[in-house]
Every structure is written in C-alpha cells, then in structure tokens.
C-alpha cells in the first residue's frame, strides 16, 4: 500500500490534499445540486407548468444523469486500473465538470432545457470523478486510518460547501449590495464561482496525492478497450467469491438510494410545499455547518459501535426523516428535517465508503470503486423516478416521501448480514493470490 511507503509527515500532507478535494467539489454538490439550481429550475420551469410537474421533471432529469454515470463509472474505474492513471483521468473529469457548471451560468435566461443539459454534463463528470477520488483513499491512509480520514474528507467538504453557499446566499438575497442588478444575475454569478472554486481547490490533490507509476509493460493502447471489458466481466464473476462484498454492495444500493433521493429532491419538494427561498437555502446552509462536526463524531462512533453499527444508526435516522417529511407543512418543520439530515448524512456516507475500501483487494480499487459508484448511481436512478412518478400520480410529493421506507429498511436488514472481518480476510487473500 502506498500510504505505508510515505513518511508520517508526507502521509499527513497527502491526507490533507486528498481531503481538500472534498472541500473543492462539495461546492458543486451543495450550491448546484442541493440548494440553488433546484430552486432556480423550479422557478424557471414553473412559469410553463404546474409546480408538481416541475418537481417530477427535476426527478426524471436527476435519474437520467445518474443512469449515464452508472454506465460510465465501471468503465472509467477499470480504465484507471489498467493504465495506472487515476489522477489524469480525474483531472479530465474536473475540467468537464467545471465547464458544465460554467455553462449553467451562460444558459439562456428563462430556458429550463439548457439548464438540464448543462447540469447533466456537470453532474456526470462530478460523479464519475468521485469514483477515482474514492479509489485514491488507500493511497493516503492505512487500514486503521481509513474510517477517520474518510470522515474527515466529508467534514472538510461540508465546511467548504457551506462557506461558499453562505456567500451565494448573501449574493442572491442582496444582489444590489454586490453591484448586481437582480437575484437571477446573482444566481449565475454563483454558478460561475462554483466552477472556479472546484478547479482551484482540486489542485493540491494532483500535486500531493501519490499513485502507482504506469506499468509500461502492461496492456497496449490498441488493446485497452478489450482489456477493460474483459476485466469488467471478470469483476462481475469474482463478486460471487466475495459474498460479504456483494451483500454490502446491494445493501448500499438500497439505503444510498434513499439518501440520494432526499438530497436531490428535498429543496424542490420544499418549493412545491410553498416554502420561501430564505427558509429553503438557510436550512441547507445549516446542514453544511452541522454536518461537518457530525461527520467527525460519526467517524469516532466506528470505534465503540463498529462502522456497520454506526451506519445502522444513520439508516434508522433516515427512516425517521422519511416519515417526518410526510407531515411537512411549515417552515420550522423543514428546519428540523434539515438538522436531522445534518446529523446522519456525512457520517453514514463516509463510513460506507471506508467500509467498502476495507473489503476490496488493493490492486483493484479503481475497478471496484467503479462498481461501488454503479451501486450508488443505479440506486439514485430508482429513487428519483419513484418520487417523480408518485408525485405526478398523486398531484404532489407528500405520499412520495413514503416510497423511501422500503429502501432504508431493506438496506438495514441486508447490511446486518455482512461480516466485515471475514470480508477483509477475503480481500487480503485475493490480493495475495
């Protein structure tokens, strides 16, 4: 493992550089995906359609972007393993993501279709790049450090995303004070600033995080595509020999579906209910501020409860959130929901990432994190589609919130059957073989 080859100070620097990428790209996840774009899209699209149809359209668009990502992720992960070039491919994703985010700022005023195209490009690049970012975790952290470093990355992401979101809220609420004519222009400036923030703070990862040298005796370029697909077929076949890894993937597929749907649909659902932009974005800013320390605390919960036990606590919390969302009517209830999400979101995702990292053979991290991403993204396709379909069927999102309950309950049950220690031994045996 590369982390073992670094001296202590070098390893700490590499870990900081790795965590700083979460700080960089969380601005996109926070301001674009969760806070500003859903509201901006709803206000724009709702000029031509009922509010609940705008909610459904956003759900379908999110599902489509996730489906494309699910198809690309294992190919990109396997390609990175074959070429030993995770960082250059990640750089390409960063540049495409920043370009798509900048396109949001340049999309024609009043046209919701242009917003969806730019969002789709940026989101696919963002989510595909995260496969490679996650796969670099074993390069900076030992097995004993992974849970803490993963949680720290999420905490840094919440802080960075929250800091920039606070600036965006000030811009949109008081555009004239910043020399901007109106809130729509301020929103476009916010999108452009996300692109610059993402690119700027990604630089330390490319400078400070190591990866293996290219294997010059490896697969020739002309045979690379065939090698990628052969390795993918082998990966699918090999999962049956690692039953704990396979069960974890399916469990993650289920509960991550619920978490991802809440993240993507909460704000636009609040618009449909009739909450003001001030309450919607203010509550999301609170999530960023509370989620950072909550992620660190969840990382520490992994010691007394074990990572699986801590994630089970998070899933139980999200089950309660889904039920509470059914009764959402007033602004104070949205603030309570936001606070609950802040407590459970980062820690549940961080420990899931580090649990998976502990279950995979070291030489196949890119390939298998591609499958990890597929589990997450395919799940993300199902959740928003279910939410959108029930919203259209019932004329609102109230009943749609309850579609998430089977996902959390089924994920919790399957996760309870995973033996992490046995899975780690299987991963070590596969590496040694």
DSSP readout, 59-111? HHHHHHHHHHHHHHHHHHHHHHHHHT-HHHHHHHHHHHHHHHHHHHHHSPTT-
Q: Is the pLDDT of residue 373 over 70?
A: no
HSE toward the beta carbon, residue 385, CA cutoff 13 A: 11
* C-alpha span between 288 and 290 (Å, rounded): 6
Identify the residue with better confidence: 116 or 71. 116
CA distances from residue 374 to 12, 153, 157, 365 in whole angstroms, order as listed: 30, 21, 22, 14
DSSP state of 330: S
What's the alpha-carbon Rg for the chain, to the nearest Å?
A: 21
CA distances from residue 109 to 61, 184, 240, 399 in whole angstroms, order as listed: 19, 9, 51, 33
* C-alpha span between 208 and 158 (Å, rounded): 21
Q: What is the pLDDT of residues 98-144, one digit of tens each?
A: 999 999 999 876 677 888 899 999 999 998 898 888 888 878 877 67
* C-alpha span between 302 and 148 (Å, rounded): 9
* C-alpha span between 157 and 176 (Å, rounded): 29
Q: What is the pLDDT of residues 334-357, one digit of tens each?
A: 898 888 888 887 778 778 878 888
pLDDT of 1 reads: 47
| Token pair recorded at residue 103 | 């396109």
pLDDT of 430 reads: 63
HSE toward the beta carbon, residue 382, CA cutoff 13 A: 16
pLDDT of 231 reads: 64
Say if residues 349 and 262 touch (Cβ distance below 8 Å).
no
Confidence of residue 297 (pLDDT cuts 50, 70, 90): confident
Per CATH, the number for 17-208+229-432 is 1.20.1250.20
Residue 430 has a CB neighbour count (10 Å cut-off) of 17
Q: Is the pLDDT of residue 420 over 80?
A: yes
Confidence of residue 217 (pLDDT cuts 50, 70, 90): very low
Q: Which of 206, 228, 229 is nearest to 90 (CA)?
A: 206
Point out the least confidently predicted range of 250-259, 324-333, 357-366: 357-366
Q: Which of 314, 323, 329, 333 is nearest to 401 (CA)?
A: 323
pLDDT of 366 reads: 63
Instruction: Mention every residue, 6+ apart, whose C-beta is less than 8 A from residue 357.
Output: 134, 137, 138, 146, 150, 365, 369
Confidence of residue 214 (pLDDT cuts 50, 70, 90): very low
Where does residue 228 rank: exposed (0-12), middle (13-18), buried (19+ CB within 10 A)?
A: buried
Q: Where are the domains of the chain?
A: 17-208+229-432
Q: Is the pLDDT of residue 367 over 70?
A: no
pLDDT of 363 reads: 66
Exposure class string for 374-396: b at 16+ Cβ within 10 A, else e? bbbbbbbbbbbbbbbebbbeeeb
pLDDT of 379 reads: 59
Judged by DSSP in three states, 174 sits in: coil
Confidence of residue 177 (pLDDT cuts 50, 70, 90): very high
For the chain, the average pLDDT equals: 81
């Amino acid at each position: 493992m590369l982390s073992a080859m670094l001296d202590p100070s070098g390893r700490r620097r590499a870990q900081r550089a790795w965590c700083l990428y979460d700080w960089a790209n969380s601005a996109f996840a926070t301001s674009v995906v969760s806070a500003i774009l859903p509201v901006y899209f709803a206000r724009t699209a709702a000029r031509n359609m009922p509010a609940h149809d705008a909610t459904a359209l956003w759900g379908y668009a999110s599902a489509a972007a996730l489906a494309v990502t699910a198809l690309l992720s294992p190919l990109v992960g396997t390609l990175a393993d074959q070429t030993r070039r995770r960082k250059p491919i990640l750089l390409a994703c960063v540049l495409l993501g920043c370009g798509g985010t900048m396109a949001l700022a340049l999309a024609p005023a009043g046209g919701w279709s242009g917003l969806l195209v730019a969002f789709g490009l940026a989101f696919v690049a963002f989510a595909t790049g995260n496969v490679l970012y996650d796969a670099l975790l074993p390069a900076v952290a030992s097995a004993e450090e992974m849970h803490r470093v993963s949680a720290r990355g999420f905490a840094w992401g919440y802080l960075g995303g929250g800091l920039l979101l606070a600036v965006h809220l000030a811009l949109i609420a008081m555009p004239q004070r910043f020399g901007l004519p109106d809130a729509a222009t301020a929103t476009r400036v916010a999108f452009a600033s996300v692109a610059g923030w993402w690119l700027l703070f990604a630089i330390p990862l490319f400078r400070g995080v190591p990866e293996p040298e290219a294997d010059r005796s490896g697969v020739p370029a002309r045979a690379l595509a065939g090698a990628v697909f052969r390795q993918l077929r082998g990966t699918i076949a090999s999962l049956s020999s690692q039953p704990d890894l396979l069960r974890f993937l399916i469990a993650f597929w289920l509960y991550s579906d619920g978490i991802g749907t809440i993240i993507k649909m909460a704000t636009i659902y609040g618009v449909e209910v009739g909450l003001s932009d001030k309450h919607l974005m203010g509550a999301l800013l609170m999530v960023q501020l509370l989620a950072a320390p909550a992620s660190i605390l969840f990382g520490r919960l992994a010691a007394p409860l074990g990572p699986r036990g801590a994630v089970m606590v998070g899933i139980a919390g999200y089950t309660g959130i889904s039920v509470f969302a059914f009764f959402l009517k007033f602004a104070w209830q949205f603030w309570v929901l936001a606070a609950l999400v802040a407590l459970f979101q980062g820690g549940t995702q961080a420990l899931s990432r580090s649990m998976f990292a502990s279950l995979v053979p070291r030489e196949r991290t890119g390939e298998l994190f591609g499958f990890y991403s597929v589990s997450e993204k395919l799940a993300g396709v199902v959740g928003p589609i279910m939410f959108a379909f029930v919203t259209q069927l019932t004329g609102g999102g109230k009943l749609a919130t309850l579609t998430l309950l089977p996902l959390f309950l089924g994920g919790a049950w399957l996760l309870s059957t995973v033996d992490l220690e046995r899975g780690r031994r299987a991963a070590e045996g596969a590496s040694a073989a």
